[in-house]
């Protein structure tokens, strides 16, 4: 990873650490049609992608474009409702950005 890209990943992870009060036990990247899953999380805290610096947006129909953290069966779940795709014209760094951020969050 280049320095500038990694700095953006670190910056975004640091911001999310300040918004998430616990390290998620699991992360789920939701595809089209699975957005309702995130709505079922207990005590969910939702952050629209537009409110997260450097976070890539998806233009795919059915992707809500939000990060949701809540509980399910006693586990803390981080759910990504939507993601950037290579076929949308994003480069691979952009496509993998959210995954790299989740890694720095300890998921």
Quick one: pLDDT at residue 77?
Answer: 96
What are the counts of helices (DSSP H) followed by strands (DSSP E) for the chain? 3, 4
Q: What is the pLDDT of residues 89-99, one digit of tens each?
A: 778 888 888 99
3-class SS at 17? helix
CA distance 46 to 67: 6
Tell me the two tokens of residue 54: 């450097």
Higher pLDDT, 87 or 39: 39
Q: What is the CATH number of domain 3-105?
A: 3.40.50.1580
The domain limits of the chain are 3-105
Q: Which residues of 5-14 are buried (b: 16+ CB within 10 A; e: fewer)?
A: eeebbeebbe
Per residue in 32-76, pLDDT (tens digit) is 777 678 888 999 999 998 899 998 876 666 556 889 999 999 999
């Amino acid at each position: 990873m280049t320095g500038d890209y990694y700095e953006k990943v670190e910056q975004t992870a640091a911001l999310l650490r300040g918004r998430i009060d616990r390290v998620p036990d699991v992360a789920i990247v939701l595809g089209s049609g699975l957005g309702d899953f995130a709505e079922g999380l207990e005590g969910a805290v939702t952050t629209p992608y537009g409110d997260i610096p450097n976070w890539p947006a998806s233009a795919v129909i059915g992707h809500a474009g939000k990060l949701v953290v809540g509980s399910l069966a006693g586990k803390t779940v981080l759910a990504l409702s939507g993601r950037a795709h290579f076929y949308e014209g994003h480069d691979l760094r952009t496509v993998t950005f959210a995954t790299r951020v989740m890694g720095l969050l300890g998921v």
